[in-house]
Amino acid sequence: IICMPPPNVTARAHLGHASTYTPMDVLTRFHRMLGNNADWLPGVDHAAIATEAVLVRELRREGVRREDLGRERFVERAWDWSRTYGGAIEAQFRRLGFGPDWRRLRFTMDDRLSAAVRRVFVQLYREGLVYRGTRLINWDPTAKSTVSDAELDHVERDGTLWRIRYPFEGGGPAAGLEVATTRPETMLGDVAVAVHPADPRYSSLIGRRLRLPPLMERVIPIIADDAVDPEFGTGAVKVTPAHDPVDYEIGVRHALPMPSVIGFDARISDADVPVGPYAGLDRSEARARIIEDLRALDLLVAEDPHRHSVALSERSGDIVEPLLSLQWFVKAAPLAAPALEAYRSGRLRFVPERNGRTYEQWLENIRDWNVSRQIWWGHQLPVWYTPDGTEIVAESETEAYEIAQRTYGTRELTRDSDTLDTWFSSGLWPFSILGWPDETPELACWYPSQVLITAGEIIFLWVARMVMLGIHFMKEIPFHDVVITPLVFDAAGRKMSKSLGNVIDPIDLADRYGADAFRISILRQMRLDSQEMRYHESRCAEARNFNNKIWNATRYMLALPSGLPPAMTLPREGELTLADRWILTRYRETIERMGKLLRDYDFGSAAETMWRFVWYEFCDWYLEASKAEGNHDSRAAVLSYVWNGTMRLLHPIAPFITEEVWLALPHDGETIVTANWPDPLEVPAFASDARHFEALQRTVERVRNVRSELGLHPRDRVVVDAPADVPDEMTALLGLLAQAAIERAPASGRTVEEALAAVGVRAPRELLAERYRKEAEQLRSEIDRGERKLGNEAFVAKAAPAVVAKERQKLENYRGELARVETALAQLKETA
RNA sequence: GGGCGAUUAGCUCAGCUGGGAGAGCGCCUCCCUUACAAGGAGGAAGUCGCAGGUUCGAGCCCUGCAUCGCCCACCA
């Protein structure tokens, strides 16, 4: 069971989807063919912020604001939009051959999934794991909503570090404490200046008071706190608890007041403290004005360029404003502990392993999760307030009214207008899609799933939260293996982005090269341990050629005069040719290897394995060998047997062409989708015959090499002297594959390999002499290397005996070969 | 600032627990041979980032450095 990470309803298929979803499809198809009850459960995410942004943009074009429309109509419109465009990604996934269980498609906003969301929220609230409180949150002024820590991008920017003098209370402007800041506009909300307790420069000043510029209306203390780095700036830091995370912590530690001076509109606000003429100014205008005024007051000491990191909202790209706000939070630590334990105990496993450490680190330092969002599209908080502001958390309005009536004696309730963070509902995905909280059969059978495949960037946003909530509500981790796929970059190694114009559209590639070609291309470029992948479109064309090769090979087989017999019966062992035995052996090895690779999630190697087997072994060697004399009787059966199975091995990777070919071959069943995965134990293997065939391949290559040096036309035969102890079966293959005319020579070897090595090619004396000289030279250098190595007493004494023996064997072989080459060379001279 | 990863042929990448440097693409030569020119055959091409160390032996292990990348982080 694999739960599909729900793509955003706003999304269009991109390479990132392809690199994570193709492996899921491969695994599901593989396990289905193995006879497992494999299912891939699809779904779509309502993508609150993204969808809302799309709608707001649409409305703006119509000259309407969200507020003009009203919540109800806006949400209706979001539903319409989701229904109209939400299917697009499904159609695209189908186009790419993804075969999840489409009948089970779920949407995070479905009634049942929404009910699950309410149940979880209410239960967590009643357990004290959801609470409402005023905390420092990340405010996105563009989206006009909070965003979670995990949804921030920290970007290095060039800014300015201003040094400002805060005068001592009662003193003149010249005497004071200098602080350094990159955000002077927040100083209106300063409540203290902090120094490090052990900083000798300032220890005598602790407890003294400063007049707060530029208004000079408030007086603030100098305090000591460990969070201050004496090395940075002046070693004195202004403390603005309402607008900075560190300052907030300091404020909490010292019980300082926390006045807000920047509002939700990112403008200076006088709600809590006087802000003088700056009230209503935008944050950047306010900054400029305050700098100007400080300069006029002679309190601006220095202005230095400073590179620092700025927090941007992932969604809007706007600079996030830390603000104090009354919001809803999930208490994370109690949920994180069992999620950590699951990883440390090995029940939850990451592939590649290093991603586990990322997960671990985040959970160790987890902070409470702000889950309330000030947008309309999403799951509205199941929270109501009585007229005096008492909160009532209930699964339904009816229940809320009951509680209100019973407990507070009122029927007057207002519902909280906030919605939940999108990741709250996706955090329930592995069980909410199975019908939870109802005790459905699906839930009983399919939870937990086995593997989650996703991108590394959402380990925190999604993976960790699914584990936390899964353990909490289901008492069990939601999946055992987490496979993190590489990030896809363009061929030059750049991130794909619309602004760079380097985005590759998988649908476009599928249209031009075929969906199978696209799938193969992306799988082949995946590396198990790699965190990135550079996508080359040329791989698509190569894969298209690969498919074409399959197609043509199939045509050859279907056109055999004998026709193809049923796939499941092989000739008796005695009737198998050398080539048959070799390809069967290789086929069996390939089945074994594919099983292992797919179980290990090594999709790149799996694709590569099939590529090599199909093209470089089956087509290049076996098909060609099958045309040789003496190979005709058994070939149709072996071709039918091996090719049928090869299509099944390839099916998870390339579902379309394998179905088409498989149906054209003798087959058993209606569709390859439900055909059996080949069983390696049923395939006969012939290790020593396979080695002999491989020795023959080397001989063929050697003859071809000479042919090429002779500049022979492909149709011209080259004469070859084959020792009498080279079997007829082999000389027939040699004749065909190397386009050679065979002459028999006296027997010369003890083994087939040696006999093959003694196969001589007739060619002009100079050319042969040159070849022999080169070969001899090569052999002598190898012999020299071996002799030196074995002459090294330390090596013989200390190296593993097997290594030494192997070295001796090699040396002996080289000496034998050299002797043969030298003899041949001498004979050449004699006949001259 | 911390953590992680990468650096091998022009390009993209393999090289399993240390024991004779590999593949594909590209390039060069020949070939429209009766499955396939979206193809076949052959070939050239690498001081394995740099410097030390461990070892009989290092692309692989250790240390340092350089370059590139990813993630995390509260240097105002």
Instruction: For Cα atoms A721, A725, A728, give the angle at the middle one, nearest 5 degrees.
Output: 80
Which residue is closest to B75 in terms of CA–C1' distance? Answer: A232
Point out the nucleotide closest to A307 (alpha carbon to C1′): B75
Say if residue A698's pLDDT is above 80.
Answer: yes
CA atom of A610 to C1′ atom of B23, Å: 14
Query: Is residue A110 left, alpha or beta, with left meaning phi > 0 and alpha meaning psi from -120 to 50?
Result: beta
DSSP for A405-462, written as a single string: IIIIS----EE---EE-HHHHHTTHHHHTTTTTS--HHHHHH-S-SEEEEEGGGIIII
Say if residue A831's pLDDT is above 80.
Answer: no
Say if residue A341's pLDDT is above 90.
Answer: yes
Judge if the beta carbon of A229 is closer than 7 A to nucleic acid strand B: yes
* Token output for A467: 């584990």
Chain A 788-827 residues whose Cβ is under 7 Å from strand B: 789, 792, 794-795, 798-800, 803, 806-807, 810, 814
CA atom of A777 to C1′ atom of B41, Å: 26
Please give the average per-residue pLDDT across A506-516, as a whole number: 94
pLDDT of A395: 97
pLDDT of A257: 95
Helix, strand or coil, per DSSP, at residue A194: strand
Residue A213: alpha-carbon gap to chain centroid: 51
A653: nearest Cα among A757, A546, A504: A546
Point out the nucleotide closest to A810 (alpha carbon to C1′): B20
Chain A 503-532 residues whose Cβ is under 7 Å from strand B: 525, 527, 529-532
On whether the CB atoms of residues A398 and A437 are closer than 8 A, the answer is no
- Cα dist from A509 to A14, A471, A518, A536, A538, whole Å: 11, 41, 6, 11, 11
pLDDT of A806: 86
Point out the nucleotide closest to A529 (alpha carbon to C1′): B5
CA atom of A530 to C1′ atom of B7, Å: 14
Backbone angles phi, psi at A396, to 5 degrees: -145, 165
Point out the nucleotide closest to A238 (alpha carbon to C1′): B76
Percent of chain A with pLDDT over 70: 100
Name, in order, each residue with C-beta under 8 angstroms of A707's C-beta and a sequence gap of 6 or more. A718, A738, A739, A761
Higher-confidence residue: A624 or A750? A624
Judge if the beta carbon of A704 is closer than 7 A to nucleic acid strand B: yes
Point out the nucleotide closest to A538 (alpha carbon to C1′): B25
Q: CA A768, CA A790: separation in Å to the nearest integer? A: 32
pLDDT of A215: 92
* pLDDT interval class at A774 (50, 70, 90): confident
Give tens-digit pLDDT for A634-667. Answer: 999 999 999 999 999 999 999 999 999 999 999 9
On whether the CB atoms of residues A327 and A133 are closer than 8 A, the answer is yes
* pLDDT interval class at A299 (50, 70, 90): very high
Please give the average per-residue pLDDT across A453-463, as a whole number: 91
A250: nearest Cα among A202, A209, A199, A193: A193
Chain A 432-461 residues whose Cβ is under 7 Å from strand B: 456-457, 460
Higher-confidence residue: A711 or A128? A128
* Token output for A731: 């000389």
Quickly list H helices, A433-577.
441-446, 465-474, 506-513, 515-524, 538-558
pLDDT of A7: 94
A237: nearest Cα among A164, A150, A141, A152: A164
Helix, strand or coil, per DSSP, at residue A501: coil
Percent of chain A with pLDDT over 90: 70
* pLDDT interval class at A170 (50, 70, 90): confident
Point out the nucleotide closest to A536 (alpha carbon to C1′): B12
* Token output for A195: 């120094």
Element (H, E) at A612: none
* pLDDT interval class at A750 (50, 70, 90): confident
Give tens-digit pLDDT for A347-371. Answer: 999 988 889 988 998 999 898 999 9
Higher-confidence residue: A277 or A806? A277
Q: CA A25, CA A38: separation in Å to the nearest integer? A: 11
pLDDT of A396: 96
CA atom of A541 to C1′ atom of B21, Å: 29
Q: CA A726, CA A288: separation in Å to the nearest integer? A: 92
* Token output for A369: 């999760």
Higher-confidence residue: A256 or A750? A256
- Residue A176 CB burial class (10 angstroms; 0-12, 13-18, ≥19): buried
pLDDT of A758: 87
Q: Which nucleotides of B are covered by protein (CB under 7 A)?
A: 3-6, 11-14, 19-20, 24-25, 29-31, 33, 35-36, 38-43, 55-57, 68-76
Say if residue A569's pLDDT is above 90.
Answer: no
Point out the nucleotide closest to A232 (alpha carbon to C1′): B75
Give tens-digit pLDDT for A76-104. Answer: 999 999 998 888 899 999 999 999 999 99
Chain A 283-342 residues whose Cβ is under 7 Å from strand B: 306, 308-309
Give tens-digit pLDDT for A379-409. Answer: 999 999 999 999 999 999 999 999 999 999 9
CA atom of A400 to C1′ atom of B63, Å: 66
Say if residue A571's pLDDT is above 80.
Answer: yes
* Average pLDDT in chain A: 92
On whether the CB atoms of residues A154 and A309 are closer than 8 A, the answer is yes
Chain A 331-370 residues whose Cβ is under 7 Å from strand B: 354, 357-358, 361-362, 365
Give tens-digit pLDDT for A419-452. Answer: 999 999 999 999 999 999 999 999 999 999 999 9
* pLDDT interval class at A150 (50, 70, 90): confident
Please give the average per-residue pLDDT across A206-210, as a whole number: 93
A425: nearest Cα among A5, A45, A124, A105: A45
Point out the nucleotide closest to A456 (alpha carbon to C1′): B71
* pLDDT interval class at A156 (50, 70, 90): confident
CA atom of A608 to C1′ atom of B24, Å: 10
Name, in order, each residue with C-beta under 8 angstroms of A647's C-beta and a sequence gap of 6 or more. A658, A661, A662, A665, A672
* Token output for A223: 């305090």
CA atom of A194 to C1′ atom of B73, Å: 21
Chain A 152-211 residues whose Cβ is under 7 Å from strand B: 154, 161, 180-183
Give tens-digit pLDDT for A250-259. Answer: 999 999 999 9
Judge if the beta carbon of A770 is closer than 7 A to nucleic acid strand B: no
Q: CA A828, CA A241: separation in Å to the nearest integer? A: 95
Judge if the beta carbon of A112 is closer than 7 A to nucleic acid strand B: no
* Token output for A48: 């609150």
Say if residue A686's pLDDT is above 70.
Answer: yes
Element (H, E) at A747: none
Say if residue A832's pLDDT is above 70.
Answer: no
CA atom of A598 to C1′ atom of B16, Å: 17
